[in-house]
Amino acid sequence: MEMHTDVLLVTANVGSLFDNVGDIEGDWLQEFFMTVHKHTPRFIALHFQEVGGKDYKRNMGHAKKFFLTIESRCEMADFDKVCVYVDSHFNDVDSFTALGSMYFIHKSLKNIQQYDFKVKEFKAISGLNKYVGSLEGVTTVEKEKFPKNFWPDFTWSRKGYMRTRWLIHNQGLDLVNVHLFHDASNLIACNSSPSVYSANRKKALRYVINRISDNSSSPLPFFLFGDFNFRLDTLSLVQNLSMSADIMTVKNGSSNEVEKIICEEKDNDHKVLLHIESKIFTYLHQAVFRENNGQELLKYDKEISEFHDVITEEEIHFPPSYPYSEDYAKPTQYMNTRCPAWCDRILMSHSTRDIIHRREEGKSGVVYNTLGSDICMGDHKPVFLFFTMKTFTH
């Protein structure tokens, strides 16, 4: 017999919460709890990236309190089974990913089990199961930092994936927390299409998909959700934005490397239309990134197209999720550091589409959106997917 279970998946790069301690966290939590209250899910998965922020050694204590706050708030009281995994062991540089995953199971959801990767079988869950540290030896999670030799020319950082496996009313499901590599320089990103950074992400994501699809544990439908750092095709976008502008490049006197790209309008008093440096991306008409939820820019969002053989996604109807201003008074403005992009995503295998319950035409029960669209949530707006999952009783 077919049953239905309401599910809420959330991905959030929370580095800003810890780098701006206390400023953003209260509203961030309020937005999350309001979303839980609105959709009343029976299963919640929260995937965090950059736990502890850039200064993770100093902030990790605060990060642990953040997880404790979510667990212990009255809004979560009806979730009587909780699993928490936080990779906080920053002294182990070869394995530290700064990933954190939280799973909440409502008291009304009885028939749920979690996979033990060591003994290769599903086991019942009860109470609070919390693992904070290196996660080594924890058999209900698989965690891996990307191999260092993948990118010998780039700074190696806290990037990797963390996977858990679930059985909800006899429907198996893999949930994978992912953090891929960012664009280190806007100028290098402009050099080619696709950029060298895009190629790095492609390699890393293919690696993750291969790892979770190998034969050591039979493949199941999966959700991959995290900060993929997908960027717009910067070269193509810049060419389009500057079509009617005068373009100047400023080079370093000694190395002859491009330090700046300046695009000036041909009329309109030669106003600077676009200014690009390694960590500066300033566009005069920034509103275009939010107009109509950025729909005009989706044609430059090409990185996922490399994976259409194995991955799909709900339609995007929200503006780019990054890089929002961290100024509390400017919650809908982007920072002039990077070209806005849909970095934070919830992707799924094609087989997962078959277990999402679709209501009659015009009554979609699926919601794919950002959290806190009009509130400062840090430089990344969290992204959530709410849906009803088809499950089965034998």
| DSSP state, residue 47 | E
CA distances from 349 to 4, 9, 169, 307, 356 (A): 20, 15, 20, 10, 12
Whether the predicted model's global pTM rises above the 0.85 cut: yes
Q: What confidence tens digit (pLDDT) does each residue in 192-226 have?
A: 999 999 999 999 999 999 999 876 667 899 999 99
- Coil, strand or helix: which one is 60? helix
**Residues 39, 371: contact at Cβ < 8 Å?**
no
Residue 286 predicted with pLDDT over 60: yes
**In angstroms, how far apart are the furthest CA atoms of the chain?**
73
Q: How many other CB atoms are there within 10 angstroms of residue 338's CB atom? A: 22
Q: What confidence tens digit (pLDDT) does each residue in 254-263 have?
A: 788 889 999 9
**Band (20; pLDDT cuts 50, 70, 90):** confident
**Residues 102, 14: contact at Cβ < 8 Å?**
no
Helix H segments across the chain? 15-19, 25-39, 56-72, 186-189, 196-212, 234-241, 350-353
Q: Which residues pair with 260 in a beta bridge?
A: 250
**Band (163; pLDDT cuts 50, 70, 90):** very high
Distance from CA of residue 46 to its chain's centroid?
10
CA atoms within 13 A on the CB side of 217: 21
